[in-house]
Each structure stands twice: as C-alpha cells, then as structure tokens.
C-alpha cells in the first residue's frame, strides 16, 4: 500500500512538473550549455520557417520511370494487338464445330471476329506506323535528299504513302519493309472474316417423320375423255398428272414412291421405217418388256426446224423437195409399272427422294384384258394393280396422247394442234433433242406422285426426323496473314529500336513537335516566288539535308546550300 501511494505522488508531481516546464519555455530561455554549441544561429522570430520537402513516393518513382521509357506506346500497342489476335483465335476455336450461339442483343460470331480483327489492326498500325516515322530521322543521320524525309513521313501515315515509297524506291530496305507491312495490314479484317463460315447439318430431333407410299392401284374413280364422256376405272387422283407434267418444263417433279410408274424412251429414228403394206402396231425398242402400262411412238421434225430450215449440205437447185430438208426424228416411249426403293429427305418444305433401286417384273409379260398385275419383289411386300385399272388408265392416256401438230406453211410459226397437250409435245420436241424424253419422264413421275395420294394406300412409312442446324466451320489458313503481320511488325519495330539506340537518338517517331524543335536551323529558300506544294517537292529532290546532334538536341542542316 505504501508503494502505491508513493507512485501516485510521483505521477502527480510529474504532471505538475510538465506544466511548469511548458510555462517556462514560453517566457524563459533555456540556460546555455557550455559543452554543446548550436549548429546554426536561431532564426529571428519574425522569419517564417522553411517548409520541409517530402521525398518522392514509390508511386511517383514508378510513374516517372514509365514516362522515361522509350517506345512505351509502340510496345504496348503491339502487345495489345497480339492480345486481340490471341482472343480472336480463342473465339474461333470456341465457335469451330459448334452450333450458331444465341448471344445477347443479337450479336453474331462474325461481329465478334470483326471487332477483334479491327482492334488488332488498330493497335498494330500504331506500332509499325511509329517505326516507319522514326526511320526519317535515322536516315537523316547521313546526307540524304529532303524528298526521302518527306516520302518516309508520308508512308508512316497510311497505305497510299507506303505505295509511293515502294514505287519511288526511297528510304532503303527497312523503310520498304515497313511500307509493305502497312499495305498488307489492310487485309487483316477481310482475312479474319473469311476464316469463319457456316455449314448446315441435319441432326436427329427425336421426332418421327412420315413419308407417303403407294402399294396398290385400284382404279377408284373416272376420267374425262375427248368425246365428252368419261371412262371408269381410272383413279381420280391421276387426272391432273399429265397436265402438271407437261406444263412443268423445269423437271422439278422428281419425287418417287415405292410403287411407281417408270419411263423408258429410245430414239428409233434409224430403226423405224414406213411400210407400204397394211399398217400394224408393234414395239420396236421394247419388244419383250413386261408390266407395260402404255407404249407410244412420237415422230416429229428435227429439233429447231420449225419453221423448217433447208439443210444447205443437201441443197439441189433442180429439186426443191426431199433431201433438201433435215430428216425427222422418232421416239418410242414405254410407261411401265415398277417397284422402287428410295431414301427421302424433307428439307425446307420440299420432299427430296433418292431412288436406290428399281425392280420390274420382266417375266410377267403383257397380260390379257382385265387381268391383274401382281408384283412380288425380293424381300418386299406384294404390290397389285387391278386389271380394270390397268386397262382403263391405258385407254385414258391413249386418248390424251394421241394427236398431231402441223403447219400449213413450212415457213409459218403458226401451228395447228389436236389438243393442248400436243402443243406442249411439239414445243418440247422442237426445243431440244431431249425435249420429248424429259417430257415423258415428267409424266411418269407425276403419275407416281399422284398415285400415292389415293385414299386406299397404306399408312405412311415412318422415319427419323432431322432438324437443320448451322455449325461454324473455321478455315485456319485465313489467319496466316494476320499472324504474319504480327511477326513482321515486331521484327520491324525491333530493328528500328536497335538502330535508334545505336545512333543515340530520341524516338521522336511522328511527333510534329520534333520537327519544330529540331527542324532546319535556317529555312531553305526556294528559287522564284512559287512556293506551291509541287515546287517544294521539286526543290526537295535536289536539297541534301543531314541531322547533326548538338547540345540542344540537334538540328537538320542543309548540306548543299
């Protein structure tokens, strides 16, 4: 307890002692110490104290060091350009082989490629443009025409100046390299865009696809004939097929079905001949084919001869008929029942079918009237054509296809035809050598397509449903040019930096202030009063200049003036 009391007394004395010491400092001077003398006299009371200078902080040191680094903008720009190119490669790698992504705001992969390639070109232009601009100062260390100084400066500002530099062969090989890089850089965006394309592929969507087929021909219905009557035993779905076929010359009716009608056409011009006896009817090109629905002959003038044109190679002035004209052509057509295997694809609302094989019953021969056709292909179902349908359909087609087309005058374009279908036959046979075969192919396909829509046909065939998806495809070879630009610009920039350091120059590049501060010590005087741009360029060809270093940084001096 005694110790604590003494401690409190000590603390109280210390506080009172401090107050007395502060009061003494304000009104009294400290006694002099004989052993220590002040280092400097005490300033008078009325003089303001000298402010203390703070040492620079670490951040200020770093900022000052960054500003003192030469080529910082150019190197940073090249790094930024390389980063954009790497980002472009990564983006293309992500897109390659994958479906078209659904990005926000409707942004497409091509837009991303365009942005990255544009940034790559932008930053790269800063890099090599400054390098080309620095070459005008490096070249000026030696005696050089002022025109070279001007040409290199123009080349550093764009592709046109670079073209002029290469064409004028000024500035040396390094300047030509920089100009070449500037010109080729124009293709960076185009080549990058060409690297990304899209292909449409079809993937299984998990649903079922249905394709209608034909297995029977029952002859349910009737069809009109030329005399105004009707014929029974013809499927009503077939009545429009000939007109669709003959008035569709594009040949786009290429759909095939399981049970179908096929067409065979043979040019029998050199085989058929007129008979002097009783006219008969027999097949010339298809004498032993079975499953026949219809066989017909077509004879017409040679293609392109209506109105008829004389054959000049057989011209005889004494005889104006006969061999003077081109020989006619003749075809035999056979419509035949068949069974086809096929694969089908339904794309954008259009059914596209590919026939893989065709089977006809060649051993059955031509059946008597009202007798059924029965088809039993290997490893397939049975297909049947009722006899009444076979015979009635053949009679109906005969009534449509029998006819003629003729002209009263060999030089007349007007042609009389027995029916509208015969007019289309004449046009087809006169238009090309394959006009009639193409027309009959259309007829067979149209009949087959119509037959599958009959109500008594079996259920459609089931298949897999596929949906189209756009996939990105990257052609990496298109990125060779942007990669070359990056490597070439880096090599070019390093060469210029090394030459600048070796020469002891400051990298002024394209800074216009350098021209003002370190330009001519004396302004060159042009002879005459004309100081136009043309006069200055002409004068610069013969004016030799040289950059000479001085204490203030150097000046451009004229050598031959």
pLDDT of 45 reads: 52
Q: 172-184 and 480-503 are packed helices; what angle lies between their axes, rounded to 10 degrees?
A: 150
pLDDT of 82 reads: 95
Look at the chain and count its residues.
561
CA distance 434 to 446: 18
CA distance 398 to 153: 87
From 491, 498, 505, select the one nearest 128 (Cα to Cα).
Answer: 491
Average pLDDT per 10 consecutive residues for the chain, totaling 561 residues: 44 46 43 47 51 48 47 92 96 90 86 94 92 88 84 89 90 91 93 90 72 87 83 90 75 52 78 60 70 78 67 49 66 87 71 81 69 82 87 88 76 75 86 87 89 88 77 92 94 92 84 76 64 72 75 71 58
From 478, 495, 13, 444, select the one nearest 242 (Cα to Cα).
Answer: 444
pLDDT of 188 reads: 93
Per DSSP bridges, beta strands 216-217 and 383-385 are: parallel
If one counts every other C-beta atom within 10 angstroms of the C-beta of residue 149, the result is 23
Residue 375 bridge partners (DSSP): 383
pLDDT of 147 reads: 83
What's the predicted TM-score (pTM) here?
0.51
Residue 177: what are its φ and ψ, rounded to 5°?
-60, -45
Three-state SS for 385? strand
pLDDT of 486 reads: 95
Instruction: Write out the E strands in 360-418.
Output: 373-375, 383-385, 405-406, 416-417
Give the domain ranges of the chain: 67-196+476-558, 213-272+284-459
CA distance 520 to 558: 8
CA distance 445 to 119: 57
Residue for token pair 């029977």: 216
CA distance 214 to 507: 85
CA distance 66 to 258: 81
């Amino acid at each position: 307890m005694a110790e604590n009391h003494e401690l409190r007394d000590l603390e109280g004395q210390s506080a009172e002692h401090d107050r007395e010491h502060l009061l003494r400092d304000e009104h009294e001077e400290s006694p002099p110490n004989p052993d220590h003398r002040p280092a400097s006299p005490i300033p008078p009371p009325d003089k303001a104290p000298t402010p203390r200078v703070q040492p620079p902080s670490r951040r200020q040191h770093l900022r000052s060091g960054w500003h003192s680094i030469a080529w910082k903008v150019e190197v940073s720009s090249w790094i930024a350009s390389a980063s954009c190119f790497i980002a472009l490669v990564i983006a293309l790698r992500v897109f390659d082989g994958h479906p078209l992504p659904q990005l926000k705001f409707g942004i497409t992969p091509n837009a991303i490629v365009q942005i990255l390639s544009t940034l790559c070109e932008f930053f790269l232009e800063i890099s090599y443009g400054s390098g080309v601009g620095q070459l005008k100062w490096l070249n000026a260390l030696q005696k050089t025409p002022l025109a070279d100084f001007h040409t290199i400066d123009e080349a550093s500002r764009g592709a046109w100046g670079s073209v002029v530099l290469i064409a004028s062969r000024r500035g040396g090989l390094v300047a030509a390299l920089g100009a070449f890089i500037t010109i080729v850089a124009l293709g960076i965006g185009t080549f990058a865009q060409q690297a990304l394309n899209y292909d449409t592929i079809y993937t299984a969507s998990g649903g079922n696809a249905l394709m209608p087929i034909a297995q029977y021909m029952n002859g349910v219905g009737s069809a009109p004939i030329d005399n105004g009557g009707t014929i029974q035993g013809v499927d009503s779905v077939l009545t429009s097929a000939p007109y669709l076929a003959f008035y569709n010359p594009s040949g786009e009716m290429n759909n095939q079905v399981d049970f179908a009608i096929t067409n065979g056409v043979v040019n029998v011009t050199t085989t058929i001949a007129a008979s002097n006896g009783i006219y008969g009817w027999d097949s010339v090109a298809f004498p032993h084919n079975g499953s026949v629905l219809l066989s017909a002959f077509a004879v017409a003038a040679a293609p392109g001869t209506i109105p008829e044109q004389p054959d000049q190679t057989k011209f005889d002035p004494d005889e104006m008929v006969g061999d003077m004209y081109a020989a006619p052509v003749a075809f035999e057509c056979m419509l035949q029942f068949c069974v086809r295997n096929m694969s089908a694809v339904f794309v954008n609302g259009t059914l596209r079918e590919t026939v893989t094989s065709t089977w006809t019953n060649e051993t059955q021969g031509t059946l008597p009237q009202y007798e059924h056709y029965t088809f039993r292909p290997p490893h397939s179902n049975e297909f049947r054509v009722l006899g009444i349908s076979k015979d009635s359909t053949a009679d109906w087609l005969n009534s449509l296809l029998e006819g003629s087309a003729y002209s009263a005058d060999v030089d007349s374009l007007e042609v009389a035809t027995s029916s509208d279908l015969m007019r289309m036959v004449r046009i087809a046979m006169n238009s090309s050598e394959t006009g009639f075969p193409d027309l009959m192919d259309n007829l067979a396909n149209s009949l087959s397509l119509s037959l599958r829509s009959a109500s008594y046909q079996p259920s459609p065939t089931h298949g897999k449903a596929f949906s189209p998806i756009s996939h990105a495809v990257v052609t990496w070879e298109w990125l060779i040019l942007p990669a070359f630009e990056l490597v070439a610009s880096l090599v070019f920039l390093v060469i210029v930096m090394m030459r600048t350091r070796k020469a002891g120059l400051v990298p002024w590049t394209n800074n216009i202030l350098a021209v003002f501060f370190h330009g001519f010590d004396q302004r060159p005087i042009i002879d005459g009063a004309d100081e136009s741009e043309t006069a200055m360029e002409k004068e610069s060809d013969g004016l030799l200049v040289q950059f000479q270093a001085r204490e203030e940084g150097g000046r451009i001096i004229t050598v031959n003036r």
